[in-house]
Amino acid sequence: MNTRHLWLWAVLALASTTTNAQSSYAQAPTPLQTRWAKQVTPSNVLPEYPRPQMVRARWQNLNGLWQYAITAKDSAMPTTYAGQILVPYPIESSLSGVGKPLQPTQHLWYRTSVTIKDLRPGEKTLLHFGAVDWQATVFVNGQEVGGHRGGYQHFTIDITRALHAGDNELVVKVFDPTDQGPNPRGKQVLNPKGIWYTPSSGIWQTVWTETVPADYIQDLRLTPDIDKSTLNIQANAPAGYQIAVVASVGGKDISRSKGKSGSVLTLRVPNPHLWSVSDPFLYDLTVSLQKAGKTIDQVKSYFGMRKVSVQTDEKGISRLFLNNRYTFNLGVLDQGFWPDGLYTAPTDEALAFDIQAIKAMGFNTIRKHIKVEPDRWYYHADRLGMMVWQDMPNAAFSLSQEAKDIFEKESARNIDQLYNHPSITTWVLFNEQWGAYDQQRLTQWMKSYDPSRVLNAHSGEYIFIDGKETKTGKANWVGSDIADVHSYPDPMNAPLLPGKVRILGEFGGIGVSIPGHQWNELQGWGYIQVTPGQLQTKYTIMNQHIKMLEAEGLSGSIYTEPFDVEGEENGLMTYDREIVKIPLSVLRSIHAELVPQTGSLPDISAASPDLTDPAAGYSAQLTRFMQGERNPAFLKALSITALRVGDKAGAARISNAYISTLHPPYSKTQFDYILQFTNSAKDSAGFAVIQNQIPAINALYGSRHGETKLFNLLYAEHVAPAFARRETIPDWDLIERRLQPYGTPGEEVFLRSKAIYLYNKSNWKDYKPVAKIYLEKFGSHLSQEERKMLQGALDKTTE
């Protein structure tokens, strides 16, 4: 048995209490919940030691109920707080107990009380944050003690001088602009939809204190070399000390080394037991800071002996090698979201479950997509045996100089933070040109910063949809170890380039809806949509093509995706991790053609889907509707089924009947339904609600969302048919008469449509009077760029 597990459990037993008084707590409403959510209580919040590669005995977990407040950005520190929040779950999440968004114009404040016990003279108290998204400022007893910018990196503050005996007030101020700032933020957006998801603002990883001596080991850098049977160790510690390291297996020491602090120590590892996916062997490591033979500080760690490289096979094809052997990287695109915790897994068991489930499916690789996980996720990958491709969360799309500077600083810190994990084999610099710039320079920098790993400089620099190129690269993977394309839905190979491994960085995305296990039953989607019964055949064929592409030089593939994520229903398992859409044994059989199964497999619990074709029972349910059944729940479910089976006319009729049963004030769930199903002015019930509820819709979805929906309906109904044939000249008098009954919205649609039509036709004579009225009445509704364009044309006609 690996003694690493014993260390972690021993430390956990010492650190399982918090200073927070337990009060009433209730999870916020959520559309979907995992089985682990019920285990979360204020006294049971991620109690595990958060940093498995540098374990000390004296620590205190601060997770639990804190107070919170949301204020305007220019407000001072609050004196009263709005309520309680369960740290470390993001404020937007159900598990936080709050479930509220944070806007870029606001600050989020946290407050709790901390008592530090048994602090001896000369010792220090360090305050650790696993991660805070995005900018944190920390106060202890009213004194600002430090801060940090970066949503994915842990940070530490020495708070010793700010402490006093007894209770100490800890306050954290957070600013998170999400997609409105210069910060890397992954898939988080303020208005989630499609492939973009709910934000995770504020504290989202464990907060804890640690007691250390005045001089202590700050971090470690471990680099294995299996060809030389050595481990290079660099401990960041003050000068003037000795560093002593001991490697052990099962409690038995196998190797020792000693040297000056700051130097690189070389530890011999005789007959190394190599780390691999099928045999993820880990050595235990003890690192001590010593002076005059006396141990001043000591940390427990671990390492794996493994090597990743690009080499050529017997046919001269560049391939990915693990431990000097070609290994096809069969992977999935894992986004790391949870329906109840968003960025934060409900429990440590849940965190490990995802890796166990992916391994049980027969994959050997996870591409961790545009997110950096807590340290314990990588620890689980290390011990369970899973290769990880780690994406860098991309720079803000604005690509301002500030955004570039932040991206480069955070990328370096990401590498430093994750460097010691044997599971991480590949860094991914850019994805699909999101926030990409200076590719050659940054590729060279990243390769020199960590030459021990493979570099995929641009995953999806070229993108293909249905075989057609939709995004063309600019740098052609310059300097990269890998040429990587994305192809949806069907697989294809990357181009053959000298010395580069050919990778299919994303493919698949087969959408399968599982009723009762959906985040949003109205907006679930995939790149292609099939029934549960059709999925296995389609997925099998895709993998057969992957096998044929491997023979032609492909060395790895990443399927989108292991789990549904919010509205994305591309997962092989549902978002709540309850239903696996293809039996695990079948998935392993399919994948065995590419990755033969060896070693033990995790035993996980997941149910199989109902393979009944939704269309099979739809006709009988439609008969009930025809016979007068008008129960609201029945109508809602039947309308969704109608869409799923392609009965658009039935969906319109049934949804109209359902909306007629609703009455104001409408909930967001009801508005979601109304906006989704109302696709024409002829859908009288839904259209009438939108007409009469524009202020309520705008309050929920943002400025002019209601007007935009209304305008699109009116345009589709009364204007678009006039452009069905290009040679037809629109009858603007007829269009105006048809739009008049809708009042001001109808007038705005008419003037806008006619002005833009005449602008595009360069008919400046007729354009002038129409554009003049449109800009006078509705110009304030336009974007600055659009208003400038139309006004500029108007000004020219008056010269």
Distance (Å, whole) CA 755 – CA 730: 12
Distance (Å, whole) CA 679 – CA 691: 13
Asked if pLDDT for residue 162 goes beyond 80, the answer is: yes
Asked if pLDDT for residue 727 goes beyond 80, the answer is: no
- Is residue 683 very low, low, confident or very high in pLDDT (cuts 50, 70, 90)? low
Report the greatest alpha carbon distance in the chain.
97
Do 62 and 18 touch, CB atoms closer than 8 A? yes
Asked if pLDDT for residue 331 goes beyond 70, the answer is: yes
> Tens of pLDDT along 611-667?
877 778 899 999 999 999 999 999 999 998 898 888 999 999 999 999 999 999 999
> Which pair of tokens denotes residue 775?
């800009």
Mean pLDDT, the chain, integer = 93
Asked if pLDDT for residue 3 goes beyond 60, the answer is: no
CB atoms within 10 A of CB 108: 25
Cis check: omega of the bond before 498, within 30 degrees of 0: no
- Please report the domains of the chain, with CATH numbers, ordered by start residue: 4-211 (2.60.120.260), 219-303 (2.60.40.10), 309-591 (3.20.20.80), 614-797 (no CATH)
> Tens of pLDDT along 528-554?
888 888 999 999 999 999 999 999 999
- Is residue 722 very low, low, confident or very high in pLDDT (cuts 50, 70, 90)? confident
Q: For residue 186, what are the CA distances in angstroms to 382, 397, 549, 554? A: 24, 11, 31, 28
CB atoms within 10 A of CB 604: 17
Q: For residue 511, what are the CA distances in angstroms to 361, 535, 673? A: 18, 9, 20
pLDDT at 610: 81
CB atoms within 10 A of CB 537: 10
Distance (Å, whole) CA 579 – CA 373: 24
> Which pair of tokens denotes residue 108?
């989020």
Coil, helix or strand at residue 339: coil
Q: For residue 215, what are the CA distances in angstroms to 289, 293, 713? A: 9, 15, 68
Distance of CA 295 to the CA centre of its chain: 42
- Long-range CB contacts (within 8 A, 24+) of 617-622: 618/642, 618/645, 618/647, 622/647, 622/650
Lookup result for tokens 């890397």: 184
Its pTM surpasses 0.85? yes
> Tens of pLDDT along 731-782?
999 999 999 999 999 999 999 999 999 999 999 999 999 999 999 999 998 8
Torsion angle, CA of 153/154/159/163, rounded to 10 degrees?
Answer: 120
Q: For residue 608, what are the CA distances in angstroms to 536, 542, 590, 602? A: 12, 21, 17, 17
> Tens of pLDDT along 184-224?
999 999 989 889 999 999 999 999 999 999 999 999 999 99
Asked if pLDDT for residue 234 goes beyond 90, the answer is: yes
Partners of residue 266 on adjacent β-strands: 232
pLDDT at 799: 66
pLDDT at 11: 41
Asked if pLDDT for residue 350 goes beyond 50, the answer is: yes
- Is residue 4 very low, low, confident or very high in pLDDT (cuts 50, 70, 90)? very low
Average pLDDT over residues 509-516: 93
Lookup result for tokens 């937007």: 92
> Which pair of tokens denotes residue 720?
């678009």
Show Cβ contacts of residue 184 under 8 Å, excluding neighbours closer than 6 positions.
Answer: 150, 151, 152, 392, 393, 394, 395, 396, 406, 407, 410, 435
Asked if pLDDT for residue 710 goes beyond 80, the answer is: yes
- Is residue 9 very low, low, confident or very high in pLDDT (cuts 50, 70, 90)? very low
pLDDT at 615: 78
Asked if pLDDT for residue 20 goes beyond 60, the answer is: no
Average pLDDT over residues 579-595: 96
Distance (Å, whole) CA 553 – CA 563: 28
Q: How many percent of the chain have pLDDT more than 70?
A: 96
